[in-house]
Amino acid sequence: MAKKVTRIAKLEFMAMQAKPGAELASLGINMPEFTKQFNDATKERAGDVVPVVITAYDDKSFDFVLKTTPAPVMLKKAAKIQKAAHNPGKETAGTISIEDLRSIAEYKLPDLNANSVEAAMKIIAGTAKNMGIKITGWDEGETK
């Protein structure tokens, strides 16, 4: 007989820094076991925000799937800024190169609704524009 799913939750933790807390307690899972497995699985991503989708079952067991780091976090890191622009149309918070854009798009491709790196680049470029981050070598909507 299949296990009954009690809840599916989407959470974000810093890599290797998950610990038992309110967000995990509400899932009704074995928190120490989850934190141990999550921290082990994210060792190579130290310092990154790691989104995770947790499926909780009625017998207190769980499954989880790690996702890629959110694009705004990666863009801020690439642009070496702490915060996005308050008024993105008129302010520039930072700049990244087209190579940075391509590498972020290649990394994010599995989690994006895109079939090619070029389509992913357009999605990430839109996020950068909304954050006030300029991309050198990028013409609006064009890829090289």
Domains of the chain: 5-66 (3.30.1550.10), 71-136 (1.10.10.250)
Cα separations (Å) of 13 from 22, 34, 36, 46? 13, 12, 13, 11
pTM of the model: 0.84
15-26 average pLDDT score: 91
Q: What are phi and psi of 31, to 5 degrees?
A: -60, -45
- The pLDDT confidence band at residue 2, using thresholds 50, 70 and 90, is confident
